[in-house]
Structure 1
Amino acid sequence: MAFMPPPGYQPYYNPTLPYNREIPGGLRQGMSIYIQGVANDHMKRFTVNFTLPGGDIAFHFNPRFDGWDKVVFNTKQGGNWGKEEKKKSMPFRKGEAFELVFIVTGEHYKVIVNGSPFYEYGHRIPIQMVTHLQVDGDLQLQSINFLGGGPPPPGQVPMTIPAHPGPGPVYRQSPYELPTMEGPPVFNPPVPFWGRIQGGLTPRKTIVIKGLVTHQAKSITINFKVAQSEDVALHINPRLSEGAVVRNSYLGGKWGKEERNATFNPFTRGQYFDLSIRCGHDRFKVFANGQHVFDYPHRFPAIQRVDTVEIKGDLSLSYVQI
């Protein structure tokens, strides 16, 4: 089963190094680039480059473990490096998972590491000239996600992403069958989180949740609710102590029968997850990190009355889009 990303949300899972790909639709103001990975145990350095055709680099991000742990920032223009900017602080830890976010504003690249603002690097080259993202060095990549920034150029249609990306054709999907995300994204919201689904759930609507399971996590809850009645159409309950992802519905004041079968469990203590929950005509389809986890047939027939997403438990959130 293929994962189909909504417009404005383009993920790549488990990419190999060196990573060098075109930025979907080009770099645009308002775009965010999420990089999740693990620093090698013997990490010395890694680089993230926002590049132009011909080899110039608009933004060079370079953490260095060299005895004077620091992060170096620079621009390469006309084949020549500019003046370095440095921050003598190392937000990455050898052997540990990290989430690195670049938010593109009109004035600078805003760098966020593990949910905390780290640096702002002013533009030296116009962002519309940037075409590619490069990542290489002493790390393992889990995912790279390109989020938002307005619509891609006309005629560019998002493509289905296989659960395990590899060689072979990628098939385009009809625009009328594409999933949708209609609300603005929320970055680093507090937990517990409550979000309103404008107009209620409808077929093809997709909710994306990115977060980190805490190191001592016991339980996480994600509920799709009817605010007026407190009915829960879909209850997703990862139970870390049991190693299970439990699903259920709470209708008319009663819990139904639990479902536990899943392709795999994407929730691990101390690890990031990337959850995509799509409402279909007769079921929810849930993907994590680009792989199908489970389907959940609708038990609540008036699905358009579901108007609230609730997230709570032992996690931190980095991104929610409804």
Structure 2
Amino acid sequence: MTMKIEMSNMNLKVGDQLKIKGEILHDAQRFQIDLGYDSEDLALHFNPRFHDDTDGAVIVCNSKMAGSWGDEKRELHNPLHRGTHVKIVFKLTGDMFEVELPDGHEIQFPNRVDMAVINFVRITGDFKLTCLKIC
């Protein structure tokens, strides 16, 4: 069962962390966590894929401005596995997003749209959210 949750007025600022805990479904193909202003302006699109035609299990990061996608960054180190409980931590440092994966590995993705405040969070796909925390 695919989930979709959208939250607005989040007010995530530079220096804040967004901690997301949940379960990756047993038959997961992909899920995504989007951070931005709204659904058309995303500073970070975080998209783990478990069977990508090009790279197999990969994490794709991107940004979208005024509905137009930027260039993908493909991370081949993917410690996320189907049927597991995970914690993923997103940190906005100003000019960069740092995403801490469950094994401690960190992905860095530039804040291409220079967004100082994240108002919109969307989680969708083959993922069951159990906890969301801003600290």
Query: Is the partner of 2:13 in helix, strand or coil?
Result: coil
Query: Considering only aligned residues, what root-mean-square deviation do their CA atoms show, in Å?
Result: 1.7
The reply on whether 1:19 has 2:12 as its aligned counterpart is no
TM value normalised by structure 1: 0.39
Distance 2:133 2:103 in 1: 16
- Measured after TM superposition, the shift of residue 122 of structure 1 is 0.9
- Measured after TM superposition, the shift of residue 23 of structure 1 is 4.6
> Could you tell me whether the CA contact under 8 Å between 2:7 and 2:122 is conserved in 1?
yes
- Measured after TM superposition, the shift of residue 133 of structure 1 is 0.5
> Which position in structure 2 is the counterpart of 1:31?
16
> Which position in structure 1 is the counterpart of 2:40?
55
> What letter is aligned with 1:56?
D
The structure that is strand-richer by fraction is: 2
Rg bigger for which structure? 1
> Could you tell me whether the CA contact under 8 Å between 1:38 and 1:98 is conserved in 2?
yes
- Measured after TM superposition, the shift of residue 90 of structure 1 is 1.6
The reply on whether 1:140 has 2:102 as its aligned counterpart is no
> Which position in structure 2 is the counterpart of 1:251?
none
Query: Is the partner of 2:105 in helix, strand or coil?
Result: strand
Residues 81-138 of structure 1: CA distance to partner in whole angstroms, max 9, x if unpaired? 1111011122111111100000111221111112503200111112235311000110
Query: Is the partner of 1:127 in helix, strand or coil?
Result: coil
- Aligned residues with identical type, % of pairs: 25
Query: Is the partner of 1:66 in helix, strand or coil?
Result: strand
- Measured after TM superposition, the shift of residue 66 of structure 1 is 1.1
TM value normalised by structure 2: 0.89
Q: 1:77 to 1:99 in 2, by over 3 A?
A: same
> What letter is aligned with 1:87?
E
Greater RCO between the two (CA within 8 Å, min separation 6)? 2
- Unpaired stretches in structure 1, ≥5 consecutive residues: 1-15, 148-322
> Which position in structure 2 is the counterpart of 1:88?
76
Instruction: Give the 4+ runs in structure 1 shifted more than 4 A.
Output: none
